[in-house]
Chains A and B, each alone.
Chain A
Amino acid sequence: MNIEGKHKFLASQEQIWDLFMDQKNLEKAIPGCEKMEEREPGKYDVLLKIGIAAIKGTYTGKIEVVDPEPPNRYRLLGEGSGSPGFVKGEATIEFSQEGQHTIVSYQGDMQVGGLIAGIGQRMIGGIAKMMAGQFFKKMAKELKSQQ
C-alpha cells in the first residue's frame, strides 16, 4: 500500500532536520510510542501501543534511518509485529524550503499483515494516513515548545 503526504512547518530546513533527527522528539511524536532505544547509530528498537477504539495492540519493532543526506532527505525503514499482526514499511522523507516554511514530504510503501489486516483491510489505508497526521501534529507541537 502506498502512503504519501506532506506537512508544512514554520522553521528553517536545518531546524526541521534537527527536529526529525532527535530521538526525544520522535519518541514523543510516534503514535503510541512507549519506548525507543538506539541500538546502534540510526537504528532504534521501539515499543508501540496503538489502537483505535477497542482495537488495541502492542507492537515491538525496529526503525532505521538510512542514507541520510542532511538537510534534504533520508530514508526510513521500519517493521513491527504484535499479536494483532505485523507492519513493514519504508519511506523517503524529503525536506524543502518554501519562504519561511519547510515542507516535509514523505512517500513510501507499507505492508500490513496478520489478523488486523484481514479484518481491518477496508480501513488500514485511512488509519495509516490518520496516524501519520497525528505524528506530524505532535512534531509541530514539539517544534513550538522548543521555539
Chain B
Amino acid sequence: MKPSAFEYFTASTVAEAIKLLERYEDEAKIIAGGQSLVPMMNFRVAQPEVLIDINGIKELDYIRQEDDEIVIGALTRERDLELSPLVQEKCPILAEAISLIGHASIRTRGTIGGSLVHADPAAEIPLTIYGLDAKMRVVGPSGERTLEPEEFFLSYLTTSLEPLEILVEVRIPVLPQKTGWSFVELTRRRGDFYIVAVASILFMEKGGVCKEARICLGGVGPTSIRAEEAEKILAGQVITDELIEKAGQKAAEAADPESDYHASAEYRRDMTRVFVKRGLAEARNRAKGG
C-alpha cells in the first residue's frame, strides 16, 4: 500500500513548528526520522492530513555535557548517539541500548526524540530513559515544561505530550564512576522489537555494597516498569548470586505482560526473571570493573 495524501510543511525552527501545530492541530503529525511513522502511513493505519517535517531544525541536533548531565537534542540521530565518544564514555548504557535498535540503516534516520514520543512498549530508548531517570524537556505555545519518565510515558504509544507541544531535549544524569549497568534483551533475531528487555543500574558504595539498584523492565506492560520490590532486595547489600536469584523472581511478579503472536504472557513473565538475573550479573561485573 502507499500513504494517503497529505499537505507537507517544513519547519526550520521550533517556533515555526509550533505555529504549524497551532494552525493544523490534530490534523497534523510531526515527522522526524519517520522510522515509526512512515511504516504506519505506508499501511494506512495512520493517515495524517498534514505532515510537519522538522528534520530541518538543526538547532535540535546536539550532544553535549552540561555539568553532571548529558544533554541531547531531540532530533539527534540514533546512529550518532551510538557512535558518540561522549555518550559511550558518560552514558554507556544508552549507547549499548541504541546499538540494539533495528539495524544501522534505521538508526541513520531514527531520532531519540521520535523514539520517545512514539513510546513503543518494546523500544530500547524509552526503557533506558526510564532506567536513567532522565528528564524530557517539552515546548509548547504556552512555554516549556520538564517531565520525568513516569509523567511522560502514559501507555501504549501514548505520552503526556499535549497536541501543540514538541519534545526538544533529553537531560540524562551522568552516572558516577564504578556504577554497574547492563542492557539485555530477548529477541528472536538481532534488531527485532524485543520480547523482554531489562535495563539495570547499580549505584555502588565502598566495600562492594550496592547503595541503590534500578531494575527497569520492558515489553511486559503498556510502558516500562520499575521493579521496585526487586530493587529493594538489593539496596544496601553486597550483591550475591542468591540475592540476584531473589530479585529475578520478585521482578517477574512486577511484570504485567500480555500474550501475543510472539510470546505468551507466561513466557514473558518467566523471561523477565531470567533476563533480570542475567542483567544484574552483568551489571555487577561492570561495577567490579570487569
Contact = CB atoms under 8 A, between A and B. Distances in A.
Contacts of B39: 119
| Residue of B40, B47, B119, B156 with highest tally of chain A CB at under 10 A | B156
B46 A54 contact: yes
Contacts of A57: 45
B149 interface: no
A84 B29 contact: no
Contacts of A110: none
B259 A1 contact: yes
A76 interface: no
Contacts of A85: 45
A116 B156 CA distance: 14
B220 to A, nearest CB: 10
B165 to A, nearest CB: 14
A54 B260 contact: no
Nearest to B44: A83
A56 B47 contact: yes
B8 interface: no
Interface residues of A, number: 25
A52 B29 contact: no
Majority SS at the chain A contact face: helix
Contacts of B44: 83-84, 115
B48 A129 contact: no
A5 to B, nearest CB: 12
A85 B43 CA distance: 11
A71 interface: no
B258 A55 contact: no
Contacts of A115: 1, 43-45
Interface of B: 1, 29, 37, 39-40, 43-48, 118-119, 121-122, 155-158, 193, 221-222, 258-262
Given A115-B44, A122-B121, 10 more contacts: A1-B260, A119-B40, A120-B45, A122-B193, A123-B156, A125-B258, A125-B260, A126-B221, A130-B156, A130-B222
